[in-house]
């Protein structure tokens, strides 16, 4: 910090709105893409684990191991293979979502009441119909809870991606540059925006959950 | 549904067995085994499978929609071996109701009811019409309930929806696994009565599992009593089983009070009525005195011009001359009709502290008399010599898991005509 300059330089912020907006969009990209890929992989793994319970242990072991790799170390492993590319940034961010997502998805399937499954089978649902029309919708509340957690985690982790370079670095780029230039306005702004994004994502998922699972919130009111 | 409903089909078990490998199922909650079950349920009848837990009654039920496949033997529906039928097609043609109901929590009541028709690909408009029709049939106002979720309903309402859902595609057969077991006794009684009334019009073939012998006797046209090990201990009408238990196990299972249970199955119409000696106000007393001697108990029944009872006049109370008047009559006896159960008739006589009840038709006209003696005679006639050694019956036997002793008494289907 340079003495005599204010902590937050609003003039700088006003002059760099374009750059800031671009960093926010990059950050969204770094969050949404790993989440989408993570959701697809986790859904497949969770359905596999529900059908064959003995694979659940190995799946959580592997996703757990992936989760424990320090993020900087992960980039050190990946950069020699993929270079300083967006792909290299997305791979670890994706693998970090798997532990949370697989666990919450399997918990979601596990929470479907057994009598509901029995009724569906007894009434002549095929296995696929039962999965798509009964198990999946009933697993949604716990699945969304997992996605909320994974999204908040990913938004925080994505700030690390700045180590890979300028072109897709997101809000982490503001933080790194601010620290390098001893310019508090920039790194405080990066951190605050990252927190705001996390809150916004969390809020959106809560609203989304209420929208797609009206039965969960139907108890009170019209009775 | 009236007029176009599909009526029941014949369900036949032919030497059906189901065994479980004890090693493979150790520690798990295994269903009861079934041992060489042969049994025919006629079309349109309610057959109750009853017995203690682990007796194989639920296993037998679930073999009909092939949730469990038999180890040996075969089950036919209208002569067709169910093993040859496509699994989902078979299940969609059989209504299925379970104790915990298993409604889909994420679907509205209307969508829940339309489940099987939707699987069968009915058009949307027909699905909606059908689910509204069924909600009305089970006594739930479609406008009020159609768009609610299961969590917004009471246990009894949910169970009604479960029955409506099972009936949706008008299946010839219904499988019901303790359908009224999870609701309180008052609601259960009402659901049972409503279901019996419904069955009069739909005439489905129903296999119904319960552990409660009172429910079995009340609901069943036929009752199959299972004992542990999946053995069919007795198969017959409720009256047959109460009158002549085939083994000490059955006698113990139906309970020490089987005589009283029979009373609630028999009705006034099952007993030979005694004619009443009647007179009308204004009749000659002298003549009435003479005629009262025709009655074994020397009582005269005074009736009005529509043949309705006004009350008794004892022989000794009839004046020597003059005419009879209504003031002389003593209206102590209870009035019953031909549909009144013997249990209710007896109870009404005991309450009134009299030996005789007056049987009347729907207009109140006297049809005859029923006495405590005639009820006792009826009960003796129905009793058969037991086919087992009565000494095997130990009144101190443990009756746990039988459901009999602590099960709630059934309300009578129809109470007697109240006293005037």
Q: What is the pLDDT of residue A128?
A: 92
Average pLDDT (B115-123) is 95
What value does the mean pLDDT take over residues B242-251?
A: 92
Give the distance from residue B142's alpha carbon to the nearest chain A alpha carbon, in angstroms: 15
Task: Test B88 with A215 for CB contact under 8 angstroms.
Answer: no
Chain B partners within 8 Å of A215 (Cβ):
105-107, 149-151
Task: Verify whether the Cβ–Cβ distance A122 to B101 is below 8 Å.
Answer: no
The count of other CB atoms within 10 Å of the CB of residue A212 is 13
Rg (CA), chain B: 26
Helices B155-167 and B124-137: crossing angle, nearest 10°? 130
| Chain A residues lying within 8 Å of B152, measured CB to CB | 218-219, 222-223
Q: A32 CA to chain B: closest CA distance, Å?
A: 28
Phi and psi at A43, nearest 5°, equal -65, -45
Contact B175, B141 (CB under 8 A): no
**Residue contact B91–A124, C-beta within 8 A:** yes
Q: Tell me the shortest Cα–Cα distance from A219 to chain B, in angstroms.
A: 5
B131's CB contacts (< 8 A; 6+ apart) are B109, B110, B111, B113, B114, B142, B146, B164, B168
pLDDT number for residue B3? 43
For residue B279, pLDDT beyond 50: yes
Nearest chain B residue to A136 by CA: give it: B106
**Reported confidence tier of residue B357, pLDDT bands at 50, 70, 90:** very high
With 80 as the cut, is the pLDDT of residue A115 above it? yes
Q: Span B109-118, mean pLDDT?
A: 96
Residue B386: is its pLDDT beyond 70?
no
Residues in chain B: 420
Quote the pLDDT of residue B131. Answer: 95
Mean pLDDT computed over B301-319 = 91
Minimal C-alpha gap between B122 and chain A (Å): 15
Interface of A with B (CB under 8 A): 113, 115-126, 129, 134, 137-138, 213-215, 218-219, 222-223
Using a CB-CB cut-off of 8 Å, the residues of chain A touching B107 are: 215
Residues B146-171: tens digit of each pLDDT:
999 999 999 999 999 999 999 999 99
How far is CA B108 from each of CA A128, A210, B280, rounded to the nearest angstrom? 21, 16, 64
Q: Quick check: ipTM above 0.85?
A: no
| Closest residue in A to B166 (Cα–Cα) | A123
Which chain B residues contact residue A124 at CB under 8 A? Answer: 87-92, 116, 119
pLDDT > 90? residue B262: no
pLDDT in tens, A53-86: 899 999 999 999 999 888 888 888 888 898 888 8
pLDDT in tens, B60-103: 999 999 999 999 999 999 999 999 999 999 999 999 999 899 99
Angstroms from B89 CA to nearest CA on chain A? 7
Q: Assign B94 to helix, strand or coil.
A: strand
Q: Return the number of CB contacts < 8 Å for A and B.
A: 75
Which residue of A lies nearest to B167 if distances are taken between CA atoms? A123
Q: Mutation target for B interface from A108, A111, A122: give the one with most B CBs within 10 A.
A: A122
Q: With CB atoms and an 8 Å threshold, state whether A116 touches B115.
A: no
Contact B92 A121 (CB under 8 A): no
Rounded Cα distance, B360 and A40, in Å: 75
Chain A partners of B119 at a C-beta cutoff of 8 Å? 123-125, 129
Nearest to B410 by CA among B126, B219, B182: B219
Q: What tens digit of pLDDT does each residue of B322-336 get?
A: 888 888 899 889 999
Residues of A within 8 A of B87 (CB-CB) are 124
Residue B370 predicted with pLDDT over 90: yes
- What proportion of chain B, given as a percentage, has pLDDT over 90? 64
Residue from B236, B230, B178 nearest B209 by CA: B178
Q: Name the residue among A124, A218, A223 with its Cβ closest to that of B119.
A: A124
Please list every residue in chain A whose beta carbon sits closer than 8 Å to the beta carbon of residue B121.
none
Choose, out of B106, B110, B119, B157, the residue to mutate when testing the contact with A (most A CBs < 10 Å).
B106
- Residue B247's pLDDT is 93
Q: How far is A102 from chain B (nearest CA, A)?
A: 22
Res B316: pLDDT: 87
Indicate yes or no: CB of A219 within 8 angstroms of CB of B88: no
Instruction: Please enumerate residues of B whose Cβ is less than 8 A from a Cβ of A.
Output: 62, 65, 67, 87-92, 96, 98-107, 115-116, 119, 148-152, 165, 175
Residue from B270, B269, B316, B320 nearest B295 by CA = B316
> Which residue(s) pair with A65 in the sheet?
none
Q: Out of B91, B103, B152, name the one closest to residue A222 (CB).
A: B152
- Measure the CA–CA gap between A24 and B54, rounded to whole angstroms: 63
Indicate yes or no: CB of B102 within 8 angstroms of CB of A120: yes
User: Closest by alpha carbon to A115, among B208, B230, B182?
Assistant: B182
CA distance A138 to chain B (A): 7
Among B238, B273, B237, B233, residue whose Cα is nearest residue B250: B233
CA dist B283 and B302 (Å) reads: 10
Nearest-CA distance A116 → chain B (Å): 4
From the candidates A114, A117, A118, A119, which should be mutated to test the interface with B, based on the most B CB atoms within 10 A?
A: A119
* CB-CB neighbors (< 8 A) of A214 in chain B: 149
Q: Which residue has the higher pLDDT, A166 or B266?
A: B266
Tens-place pLDDT, residues B11-59:
999 999 999 877 666 656 677 899 999 999 999 999 999 999 889 999 9
Helix and strand element counts for chain B (H, E): 15, 16
- Please report residues of B whose CB lies closer than 8 A to that of A222: 148, 152
Q: Do B102 and A138 touch (CB under 8 A)?
A: no
Condensed to tens digits (0 to 9), the pLDDT of residues A176-210 reads 989 988 888 999 999 999 999 999 999 999 999 99
A-interface mutation test, from B102, B110, B112, B146, most A Cβ less than 10 A away: B102
DSSP symbols for B322-357 = SB--GGG-B--SPEE-TTSBHHHHHHHHHHHT-SEE
SS3 of residue B184 by DSSP: coil
HEC letters along A107-175: HHHHCCCHHHHHHHHHCCCCHHHHHHHHHHHHHHHHHHHHHHHHHHHHHHHHHHHHHHCCCCCCHHHHH
Confidence check: pLDDT of B412 > 60: no
- Helix, coil or strand: residue A192: helix
CA A95 to chain centre: 10
pLDDT at B384 over 70: no
B119 and A214: CB-CB below 8 Å?
no
Query: What's the confidence (pLDDT) of residue B409?
Result: 40
CA B271 to chain centroid, in Å, comes to 20
Q: Provide the 3-class DSSP secondary structure of residue B261.
A: helix
- Going edge to edge, which strands form the sheet with B205-210? B94-98, B173-177, B205-210, B46-50, B222-227, B231-236
Interchain proximity B175–A122, CB inside 8 Å: yes
User: pLDDT value at position A219?
Assistant: 64
Is the CB of B149 less than 8 angstroms away from the CB of A214? yes
């Amino acid at each position: 910090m340079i003495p005599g300059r204010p902590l937050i330089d609003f003039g700088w912020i006003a002059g760099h709105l374009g750059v800031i907006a671009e960093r926010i969009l990059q950050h969204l990209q770094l969050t949404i893409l790993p989440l989408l890929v993570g959701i697809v992989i986790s859904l497949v793994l969770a359905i596999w684990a529900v059908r064959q319970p003995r694979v659940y242990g190995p799946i959580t072991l592997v996703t757990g191991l992936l989760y424990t790799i320090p993020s900087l170390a992960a980039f050190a492993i990946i950069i020699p293979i993929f270079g300083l590319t967006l792909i290299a940034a997305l791979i670890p961010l994706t693998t970090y979502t798997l532990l949370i997502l697989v666990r919450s998805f399997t918990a979601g399937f596990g929470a479907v009441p057994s009598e509901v499954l029995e009724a569906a089978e007894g009434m002549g649902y095929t296995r696929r119909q039962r999965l798509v029309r009964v198990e999946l919708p009933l697993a949604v509340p716990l699945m969304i809870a997992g996605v909320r957690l994974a999204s908040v985690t990913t938004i925080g982790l994505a700030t690390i991606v700045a180590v890979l370079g300028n072109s897709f670095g997101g809000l982490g780029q503001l933080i790194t540059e601010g620290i390098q230039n001893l310019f508090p306005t920039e790194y405080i702004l990066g951190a605050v925006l990252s927190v705001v994004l996390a809150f916004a994502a969390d809020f959106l998922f809560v609203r989304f959950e209420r929208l797609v699972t009206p039965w969960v919130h139907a108890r009170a009111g019209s009775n | 549904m009236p007029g176009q409903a599909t009526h029941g089909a014949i369900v036949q078990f032919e030497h059906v067995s189901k065994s479980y490998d004890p090693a493979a199922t150790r520690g798990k909650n295994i269903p009861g085994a079934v041992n060489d079950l042969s049994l025919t349920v006629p079309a349109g009848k309610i057959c109750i499978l009853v017995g203690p837990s682990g007796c194989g009654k639920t296993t037998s039920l679930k073999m009909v929609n092939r949730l469990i496949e038999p180890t040996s033997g075969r089950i036919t529906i209208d002569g067709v071996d169910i093993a040859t039928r496509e699994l989902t097609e078979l299940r969609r043609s059989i209504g299925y109701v379970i104790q915990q109901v298993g409604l889909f929590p994420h679907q509205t009541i209307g969508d829940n009811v339309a489940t099987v028709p939707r699987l069968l690909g009915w058009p949307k408009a027909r699905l909606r019409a059908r689910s509204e029709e069924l909600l009305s049939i089970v006594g739930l106002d479609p406008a009020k309930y159609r768009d609610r979720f299961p969590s917004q309903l009471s246990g009894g309402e949910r169970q009604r929806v479960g029955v409506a859902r099972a009936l949706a595609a008008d299946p010839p057969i219904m499988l019901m696994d303790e359908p009224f077991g999870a609701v309180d006794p008052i609601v259960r009684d009402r659901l049972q009565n409503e279901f019996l009334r419904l069955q009069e019009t739909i005439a489905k073939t129903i296999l119904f599992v319960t552990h409660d012998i009172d429910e079995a006797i009340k609901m069943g046209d036929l009752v199959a009593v299972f004992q542990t090990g999946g053995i069919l201990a007795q198969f017959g009408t409720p009256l047959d089983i109460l009158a002549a238990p085939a083994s000490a196990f059955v006698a113990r299972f139906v309970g020490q009070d089987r005589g009283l249970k029979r009373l609630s199955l028999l009705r006034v119409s099952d007993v030979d009525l005694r004619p009443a000696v009647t007179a009308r106000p204004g009749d000659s007393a002298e003549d009435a005195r003479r005629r009262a001697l025709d009655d074994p108990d020397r009582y005269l029944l005074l009736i009005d011009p529509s043949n309705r009872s006004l009350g008794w006049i004892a022989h000794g109370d009839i004046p020597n001359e003059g005419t009879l008047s209504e003031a002389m009559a003593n209206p102590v006896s209870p009035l019953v009709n031909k549909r009144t159960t013997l249990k209710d008739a007896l109870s009404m006589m005991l309450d009134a502290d009299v030996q005789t009840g007056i049987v009347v038709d729907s207009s109140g006209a006297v049809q005859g008399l029923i006495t405590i003696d005639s009820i006792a005679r009826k009960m003796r006639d129905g009793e058969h010599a037991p086919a087992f050694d009565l000494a095997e019956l130990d009144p101190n036997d443990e009756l746990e898991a039988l459901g009999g002793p602590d099960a709630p008494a059934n309300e009578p289907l129809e109470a007697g005509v109240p006293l005037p």
